[in-house]
């Protein structure tokens, strides 16, 4: 086992296709102390048989759920609560990154950063304060607290049900109480900032706070990988996947090529 102080949480509706086709549990068990699958008690998980910790929670019934944010935070938190290591990685159940050791190395080298990838991350001048939420890593206590913050905030949102409600008004979050629009990725990041002690009233958008607090790993250095928004169907995006094709370039933490203006 390579990372004896790190666990991985696979969260969201259980994706049997990804589990069986890519055998991600085999790879993750090579690397991490704990492999935790956090899904719902309505999911069929009969194929789970590799010694993983399986957490099956009742589906949440909270009605205010812009961009599936509540479900995302809920399944993540239910899994993170079972983690017994200092560091954790949260990955969606419809994704698999064989080269996730590059991501884990970045967490070890940057233990107090919000580590994520360059999928759905935006330059601050385009969409301020928006790192990715597909793959997140860091100290377990901070990740748990971030998810708790997001779940608490969701009770303030007045948006209707629906994963296609992309933006929320930050004025609805008491700790911010300012009228700028944000998406789910930003809300998760704000949850993290609160968990590490930032006063959200002082967080400006855009600002250099992303440079201070996040570390972005280039997903191209984590090949081969599978990324799907439509589990089990033809929309799966992937690099050619062979178990004996390891693709091991050095990890790259991206800065200037992802952000504008350049870091001074």
Question: What is the C-alpha separation between 106 and 217, in angstroms, rounded?
Answer: 8
Cis peptide before 172 (omega within 30 of 0): no
Question: What is the C-alpha separation between 174 and 179, in angstroms, rounded?
Answer: 11
Beta-ladder partners of 256? none
Whole-number pLDDT of residue 122: 62
Tokens linked to 148: 């708790």
- Give a yes or no: residue 28 inside a domain: yes
| Residue 58 vs residue 236, higher pLDDT | 58
CATH of the domain at 126: 3.90.550
- Give a yes or no: residue 73 inside a domain: yes
Element (H, E) at 31: helix 24-31
Question: What is the C-alpha separation between 144 and 149, in angstroms, rounded?
Answer: 9
Tokens linked to 145: 């607290």
Tokens linked to 163: 């994963």
Least confident interval from 29-38, 147-156, 170-179, 233-242: 233-242
Quote the domain boundaries for residue 169: 3-254
Cα dihedral sign, 105-107-110-111 = negative
Cis peptide before 196 (omega within 30 of 0): no
Q: Please, what is the Cα angle at 7 between 254 and 17, to 5 degrees?
A: 85
- Give a yes or no: residue 261 inside a domain: no
Residues in the chain: 264
- Give a yes or no: residue 82 inside a domain: yes
- Give a yes or no: residue 120 inside a domain: yes
CB 215 within 8 Å of CB 201 = no
Nearest to 168 by CA among 67, 70, 62: 67
State pLDDT tens for residues 70-88: 899 999 999 999 999 999 9
Question: What is the C-alpha separation between 202 and 37, in angstroms, rounded?
Answer: 36
- Give a yes or no: residue 114 inside a domain: yes
| Residue 199 vs residue 139, higher pLDDT | 139
| Residue 24 vs residue 178, higher pLDDT | 24
Q: pTM of the entire structure?
A: 0.83
Tokens linked to 70: 């509540």
Element (H, E) at 105: helix 100-109
Is the pLDDT at 257 greater than 70, yes or no? no
Nearest to 137 by CA among 113, 120, 119: 113
Please give the tally of structural domains in the chain.
1
Question: What is the C-alpha separation between 122 and 130, in angstroms, rounded?
Answer: 6
Instruction: Give the residue-averaged pLDDT of 206-221.
Output: 78
Torsion angles phi and psi, residue 14, rounded to 5: -65, 130
């Amino acid at each position: 086992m390579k990372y004896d102080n790190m666990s991985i949480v696979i969260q969201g509706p259980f994706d049997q296709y990804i589990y069986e086709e890519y055998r991600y549990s085999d790879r993750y068990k090579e690397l991490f102390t704990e492999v935790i699958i956090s899904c719902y008690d309505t999911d069929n998980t009969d194929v789970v048989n590799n010694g993983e910790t399986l957490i099956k929670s009742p589906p949440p019934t909270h009605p205010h759920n812009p961009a599936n944010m509540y479900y995302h935070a809920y399944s993540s938190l239910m899994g993170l609560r079972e983690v017994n290591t200092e560091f954790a990685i949260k990955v969606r159940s419809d994704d698999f990154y064989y080269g996730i050791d590059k991501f884990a190395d970045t967490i070890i080298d940057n233990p107090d950063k919000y580590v994520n990838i360059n999928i759905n991350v935006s330059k601050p001048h385009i969409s301020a304060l928006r790192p990715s939420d597909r793959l997140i890593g860091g100290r377990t206590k901070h990740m748990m607290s971030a998810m708790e913050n997001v779940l608490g905030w969701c009770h303030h949102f007045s948006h209707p049900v629906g994963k296609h409600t992309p933006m929320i008004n930050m004025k609805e979050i008491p700790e911010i109480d300012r009228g700028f629009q944000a998406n789910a990725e930003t809300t998760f990041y704000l949850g993290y900032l609160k968990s590490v002690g930032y006063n959200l009233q002082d967080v400006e958008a855009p600002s250099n706070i992303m440079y201070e607090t996040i570390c972005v790993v280039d997903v191209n250095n984590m090949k081969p990988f599978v990324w799907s928004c439509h589990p089990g169907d033809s929309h799966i995006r992937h690099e050619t996947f062979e178990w004996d094709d390891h693709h091991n370039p050095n990890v790259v933490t991206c800065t200037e090529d992802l952000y504008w203006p350049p870091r001074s």
